[in-house]
Structures are given as C-alpha cells and as structure tokens.
Structure 1
C-alpha cells in the first residue's frame, strides 16, 4: 500500500469517527434546522442550474432534505446518485422529493430505476474530510471521483460539519478540488474568490 493510500485510509477512519460523534451530539431538532437553504455566497454556483444533484444522507452526514425542498420550491429539478452494484459506476436519476420514488440500492436509498437518468448542472456532495484548498476526501469507492471526472464542468459543492476540516487532505494529481464547501459555520470558496474580512 502506498503512503498516500495509507494516509487517506487513516484520515477516513479518524474523520468518520469525528463526524459521527459530532452528529450524535446534536439534538435531533437542531440537526433538522441547520442546513435550511444554501448561503448567499453559493447562489452564483447554482442560480442557473436547472438540475441540482443532492444525496440521501446517512447517519453522520449533513442532512439534505431541506435543501431539496428549497430547490424544488425554486422550480429546480432534483437528482440523487444511483448505482446498480457496490463497485458499479454512479449515475444520477431525477427525484420528485417523495419517499415513494425511492428504493433501496447498494449504498442506501436512491431513486427508482424507472426515474430518468440525468446530469446535474450543480452538485452538492457528501465528504469525509476537506481542507482550506477545497480538497475532498470521500468514502474511498471512487464513485464521485469517477462521475466528476466525466463531467468536469459541473459545479462541485461539498457539505460538511466543521469538525471534518483537516489541515491538509492527501490528494492525487487526478483528484479534483471542490468549487466550495459549506459547513454549519462558514462557506469556503477558492482563495481568489474569498472576500476580505
């Protein structure tokens, strides 16, 4: 195992634990209220998007239900990731916002296979860790990395808890940084787009 793979594996272990511990410490009512709508600083990344990609959060991840409802209220379409098998490629399918159009997939709930496959114009992504350079550490399956490499023009926005920020995320040359990261406390943009205090 290379040193970089070892660093990523160790960081995933530590950050998953920190993420889950932070999430479990939040009162359930507080969890539901935190991520209500995208912050104003993010609007330029999503305002022209007709289809917005989200994800169905698992315990520990930033919840996305209120983002989904907000996007639907704005007249945008919502898409969620879908895979047919654990190691298979990831696609996105439209989601109506109703649990009735979800089914159990290899990684949890995803849109029914009958829902149309689409390419989101902007994508809110889960992550395990991030750094100030907007490098993202995912779960390790490479699903998002593969999809984003095939669709490099899609805006990539990470959703995370502040405790998931690392000093430096180990990154390969092919790893694509995010366009922004939203936490419960701040919005991180590329350094050349950050506003002076």
Structure 2
C-alpha cells in the first residue's frame, strides 16, 4: 500500500467521524434551514447548465433536498447518481423530484433504472474532506473520480461542513480538484477567482 493511499484511508476514518458528529449535533430545525439554495457567487457555474447533478444525502452528508427544490423551480433538470452494483461504474439518471421514481440501490437511494440516463453540465458532489486548494477526498470507491475523468467539462462543486476542511488532502495524479466548495459558513473558489479583499 502506497503512502498516499494509507494517508487517505486514515483521513477518511477520521473525517467521517467528524462529519457525522457535526451533523448529529445540529438541531433538526437548523438542518432544515441551511443549504436552502446555491449561494449567488456560485451562479456563474450553474446558470447555463441545463442538467445539474445532485446526490441523495445519507446521514452526515450535507442535505440536498432544498437545493433540488430550488433548482427545479429554476427550470433545471436534476439528475442523481445511479449504479447497478457496488463496484460498477456510476452514471446519472433523471430525477423529477418525486419520491415515487426513487428506489434502493447498491449505495443508497437512486433513480429507478427506467429513468433516462443523462450527463450533468454541473455537479454538486458529497465529500469526506477538502482543502483550500479545492482537493476533494471522497468515499474511496472512485465512482465520482471515474465519472469526472470521463466528463471533464462538467463543473464540479463540493458540498461539505466546515469541520471537513483539512490542511491538505493527499492527492494522486488522477485526482481532479473541484471548481468550488460550499460549506454552511463560506464558499471556496480557485485562487484566481477569489474576490480581492
């Protein structure tokens, strides 16, 4: 096992625990209010996107239900990750916002297989950890990494809690940084796009 892989595994263990503890400490009413809509500074990344990828949050992850409702109101088409099996490749399928079109998949709730497969123009992604250089540490299965490598033009936006920020995410040559990270307290953009203070 290489040093980077070992570092990533240890960071995942530590940051999953921190993420879940933070989420569990939030009052239900607070959880329902935060992440109501994408911040204005993010709009240039999504305003021309016809199809926007989201995810169905599991405990600990940033909730996406409010984003989904807001994006549907904007006239955007929403797509959620879909996999046939745990180790299989990830694709995206249309989600209309109706719970009736969702089923239980290998990694949790996903659209029914009958829903059309699409390629999002912009993608809101869950994460385990991130750093100020917008490097993302995912769950370790490589599903998002593999999909993003095949669709490099899709804008990649991470959703996370502030407690998930670390000094540096161990990065390998194939890892692709995000275009932005949104937390409950701030929006991180690439250095070249950050407003002057």
Q: TM-score, normalised by structure 1?
A: 0.99
Structure 1, residues 114-156: CA drift from partner, whole Å, max 9, x if none? 0000000000000000000000000000000000000000000
Which residue is 1:38 aligned to? 38
Question: Is residue 2:17 matched to residue 1:14?
Answer: no
Which residue is 1:131 aligned to? 131
Query: What is the alpha-carbon distance in structure 2 between the residues aligned to residue 11 and residue 34 of structure 1?
Result: 26
Q: TM-score, normalised by structure 2?
A: 0.99
Deviation, 1:181, is 0.1
Deviation, 1:31, is 0.6
The structure 1 segments of at least 4 consecutive aligned residues displaced by more than 3 Å after TM superposition are none
Query: What is the alpha-carbon distance in structure 2 between the residues aligned to residue 123 and residue 20 of structure 1?
Result: 23
Structure 1, residues 80-137: CA drift from partner, whole Å, max 9, x if none? 0000000000000000101100000000000000000000000000000000000000
Aligned length: 197
Which residue is 1:170 aligned to? 170
Superposed CA RMSD: 0.4
Q: Which runs of 5+ in 1 are unaligned?
A: none
1:10-159, aligned counterparts within 5 Å?
10-159=10-159
Query: What is the alpha-carbon distance in structure 1 between the residues aligned to residue 18 and residue 138 of structure 2?
Result: 15
Deviation, 1:196, is 1.7
Query: What is the alpha-carbon distance in structure 2 between the residues aligned to residue 79 and residue 116 of structure 1?
Result: 9
Deviation, 1:25, is 0.2
